Chain A
Amino acid sequence: MLVLVLGDLHIPYRVSGLPHEFRKLLTPGRIQHILCTGNLCTKETVDYLKTLTADVHIVRGDFDDNPNFVDQKVVTVGQFRIGLCHGHQIVPWGDIESLSMLQRQMDVDILITGHTHKFEAFERDNKFFINPGSATGAFNSLNSSTTPSFVLMDIQQASLTLYVYQLINEKFTVERLEYRKA
């Protein structure tokens, strides 16, 4: 099961579009689910994601123009309960303890949040925390050098392989991380 995790695109408020290196990779029919942390910001981008696959989950970012996106979502893939939330609602932003609280409240194995435009992936108390960063490398006041990034999760039953795609200094890199649910 391939799950695309991305967010904070900020099209068109901060950037004109996804980097073409990413667009080339993201072709229809290869991904089963999309989990989007929000801040797309317009319907155009939503429609684009829907061309990649039918099962698209989006949560509300602070700049999304659709007021009807929910604040939090839980999706089950394989044996994982996955929680999705943009993260601007969690104060302090990006604080690990607060994120852990959210993870407990949502009762999820994996918590995916965004907002910081910084890729992160770590394990804590056998729970996994992922931030796919900004897929377009959009400007962020608190993060002066944003790198375009997104994440592809390959979930097989209880094992999770994470592929992190980044454009560092215009060079395209892929990193691989593995987790197992206890």
Chain B
Amino acid sequence: MSMQKAVDNNRSSNAGLSMDNQEKLLADALQNVRQHAFAMKRVLDQQSVMEGLKHAANMLGELRTSLLSPKNYYELHVVVVEELHHLELYLTDEFEHGRGSHDLYEVVQYAGNIVPRLYLLITIGHVYIRANELPRREVLRDLVEMCRGVQHPLRGLFLRNYLLQCVKSLLPDTEEENQEASKTGTILDSLDFILLNFSEMNKLWVRMQYQGHTRDLQRREQERRELRILVGTNLVRLSELECVNVERYKTIVLPKIMEQVVSCRDSIAQEYLMECIIQVFPDEYHLNTLNEFLKACRELSASVNIRNILISLIDRLTAYSTRDGSQQNIPENIQLFDIFSEQIAEVVKSRINMPPEDIVALQSALLNLSLKCYRDQFEYGNKVLENTRKIFDNIALDTQVQTGTPAAKELVKMLKIPIDCYDILDVLKLNHYKLVLQLLSYRERHTVCMYIINSILDKETIIPTAEQVTQLFELLLTLIIDQTDSALETSRQTITNEDFVEEQNLVARLYNNFQAPNDPDQQYHIIKICQDTFKNGGLERMRFTYPPIIMQAYALTFRYKNIREQDEKWEKKCQKLFQLCNQLINTLTKLETNDLPLRLYLQGALAASEIGSENAETIAYEFFSQAYTLYEEQAGDTRAQSASLTLLIGTLEKVTCFAEENHSTLRQSLTQAATRLVKRPDQVRTLLLCTHLFWSAQRLNESTQKSEQVHDNEKVLACLKKATKLTTQIMDQSVQVQLYNELLNTYIYFFNQNLPDIDITLLNSLIEKLQNEMSKISSNENDEFIRNQIQKTFDYLRQQSQLEKFQGLQINN
């Protein structure tokens, strides 16, 4: 084509690139194609080969256009190839029936225009080879050379693609020539063919970059990317050849491909093709050509994104090496770590403008390789972490990586890799891990720490020694103590901040995984370490972190008791633990709510009682009275007070280590406290609970050193009478009746316990009273419920009245 025509075509192609115009052009072209195809098929039906070829040539003429965008050209191409297939089938059929024309290959060379000519040559050549009309080797060589005639990038690419697809099954894939048919060619010829086709296609593809105006550069690059698969198909075809082995790949295939990739100096081509090579050829080949491949990487153009290529390769080889769970796929002599470590260093050195996030991404891939391929050799992973830290130290010493930057994101990704690969006990062996963690700003450190804790909890990893706990705390410091670079003001680190609560609860949960199952002394050590660490976190954090320590300390006293035969110091150790808990709970009382400290003290009293060590009574009494003091401070919150008192009573009923003196003091205090509650119904109900303190509660008999039940019937009755009296003072009749019912039930309880002075007569009088009171209340819904409750009591009594014990019970129906 003359220069002028080329320019004209370009201009008109720009004009033709508006959407509507393109649609119309394509539609017109397709219509023409179909018309010619129809004509072709019609004359072929009449056995007119020459006429058929003429129509085919006309049809193929549509592919000469410069006006269509690559996408639309592709659509046209698909239809044309489909129609061309008919011609191919016809000719093949003719040959199969011995009617084939032998000179078509020559004849077609006289077709007027080169594009139709070449398509026809390829089609016929294909048929002739299959029919053994022409020697395969010669024809293939011929065709791949002749395609040079089309130098227009778009047309050339599609033409050569058609060539490749056509000869797909014809490419010789044998070591030696086929003896029967002559000149069939060998694998070497196929390699020549494809490699030449590939080279030429790549050249055309690169040339597209420079076609047209600079202002359309972005569009052209996009169009180029759309066509990349056409070039890549050559590489795929190469990988499908069976006679290509490692040796051939190394000596023939790869060098030729690399030559083209490096020399074309086009970054789009280089990026795509390097990636394509990695994906298309087996990992075994890559292992054997690492040096060659990496050398070529170094020679790539400066704007190529080498990071992704290297990472792609490293990741593939990492996956290959650990396939099937074994680490034996890599031969001994290939030290992957060293090779890539060096390579990355080279790349980083040579590309001075490489952004830090790319460097980190490369280090991440290398870390991944180290942890997966050299699983038990921590020095590799450590080395990578150390180098990463060094890189940033060289940029700016003692400076944090700014939050939210790509570099920060890559560092976070990097730090997650060991957490995912190993359990935390192994991660702690990577002593340079914290060096990299320290590079990050508050927000990213926070993210990593949360990730670490969640990983430990999900994997249910136990951390069994104080030393490991200490090491872990070094990593998690961001969550444990106030950070100088935290964006949060201290006022936001309270229970009103949901995120803060979530985070601290996570730390609390983690604490429970610090367990030394067979070594109570080690457990004690852990407790001390944690207390020392957590106390620096401020009261708002201690609210969350202290309770689990305290509960674990109580549990530890039981473990010491279990080994008392082997450890003569067990009682002293328990004492120390209780003292520690006392101290910790005391700190917690500074928080505005007394609920938790109170309950923790009561748990301590219970534990001391059950342990029964030498100072158990003193400790239990101390804890109990502390709880009582806290209770008194709750005056003003009636609901909380009532709940706390109930708990105090329930606990005392179970604590068995108090001698009479202490027990008596406590019994009295709680009973009096019950009468001092603000609301009458609370007073009554709590008094009813207190009755048990005088009955089933146990105190220590100092002479026998055994616990006995109090069984003080007088006091029980006194409580009941007091409760009854208070009930009479209630104004709300419904509530009053309900309480009479509860009173009756309590009397029945003690009647069943054979308390002296509670007899059938007493029960009968209570029943009568209740029946009277019942008639006074209304019949609204709430009162119906109360009535029902009373009925249930009466039903129960009726049932019991069958028993001998209940003889004489007057319960009418």
Contacts and interface: CB of A to CB of B under 8 A. Distances in A.
Interface string A59-83: 0001100010000000000000000
15 contacts: A12-B505, A12-B508, A14-B552, A42-B505, A67-B639, A90-B650, A91-B649, A93-B650, A95-B696, A104-B745, A104-B793, A105-B792, A125-B799, A139-B551, A141-B609
B101 interface: no
B513 to A, nearest CB: 5
Contacts of B210: none
B513 A105 contact: no
Interface string B771-800: 000000000000000001100110010010
B792 A107 contact: yes
Contacts of A95: 696
Interface stretch (B75-83, B253-261, B381-389, B599-607): B599-607
B170 to A, nearest CB: 57
A91 B741 CA distance: 18
Interface string A13-30: 111110010000000000
Given A20-B460, A97-B752, A91 B692 contact: yes
Given A42-B505, A63-B599, A142-B610, 17 more contacts: A14-B548, A16-B512, A44-B502, A62-B647, A67-B595, A91-B649, A91-B653, A91-B689, A92-B653, A92-B696, A97-B749, A104-B789, A105-B745, A105-B792, A139-B554, A141-B558, A141-B610
B231 interface: no
A156 interface: no
Contact of B510 (A10, A16, A42, A101): A16
A contact face: mostly helix, strand, loop, or mixed? loop
Contact of A15 (B512, B610, B788): B512
A92 B692 contact: yes
Contacts of A104: 745, 789, 792-793, 796
A92 B390 CA distance: 66
B511 interface: yes
B contact face: mostly helix, strand, loop, or mixed? helix
A62 B752 CA distance: 29
Interface of B: 457, 460, 501-502, 505, 508-513, 544, 547-548, 551-552, 554-555, 558, 595-596, 599, 603, 606-607, 609-610, 639-640, 646-647, 649-650, 653-654, 689, 692, 696, 741-742, 745-746, 749, 752, 788-789, 792-793, 796, 799
Contacts of A13: 508, 547-548, 551
Of A44, A88, A90, A141, most buried by chain B (CB within 10 Å of CB) is: A141
Given A62-B599, A141-B606, A12 B752 contact: no
A32 interface: no
A31 B808 CA distance: 50
A82 to B, nearest CB: 16
A144 interface: yes
Contacts of B793: 104
A15 B513 CA distance: 8
A105 to B, nearest CB: 6
Nearest to B753: A97
B512 A105 contact: no
Of B512, B603, B606, most buried by chain A (CB within 10 Å of CB) is: B512
A158 B159 CA distance: 80
A16 B509 contact: yes
Contacts of A43: 501
Contacts of A97: 749, 752
Contact of B512 (A14, A98, A101, A144): A14
A88 B509 contact: no
A141 B696 contact: no
Contacts of A17: 457, 460, 509
A99 to B, nearest CB: 11
Contacts of B649: 91
Contacts of B558: 141, 144
Given A17-B457, A101-B745, A44 B653 contact: no
Nearest to A94: B654
A89 interface: yes
Interface in A76-129: 88-93, 95, 97-98, 101, 104-105, 107, 125
Given A62-B599, A139-B551, A139-B554, A44 B505 contact: yes
B650 A91 contact: yes
B61 to A, nearest CB: 64
Contact of A98 (B547, B640, B749): B749
Contact of B650 (A44, A88, A105, A107): A88
Contact of B749 (A14, A101, A105, A142): A101
A92 B81 CA distance: 91
Contacts of A144: 558, 610
Listed from nearest, the 6 A-B pairs whose CB atoms lie closest are A12-B508, A16-B512, A12-B509, A141-B606, A16-B509, A139-B555
Given A11-B509, A88-B650, A93-B653, A141 B607 contact: yes
B723 to A, nearest CB: 14
Contacts of A107: 788-789, 792
A6 B689 CA distance: 26
A14 B551 contact: yes
A16 B551 CA distance: 13
A107 to B, nearest CB: 6
Contacts of A14: 512, 548, 551-552, 555
A3 B792 CA distance: 27
A92 B551 contact: no
A88 B547 CA distance: 19
Contact of A142 (B552, B606, B640, B692): B606
A12 B502 CA distance: 11
B517 to A, nearest CB: 12
B654 A142 contact: yes
A111 B512 CA distance: 32
B600 to A, nearest CB: 9
A11 B508 CA distance: 9
Nearest to B602: A62
Nearest to B793: A104
A170 to B, nearest CB: 12
Contact of B647 (A67, A88, A92): A88
A30 to B, nearest CB: 22
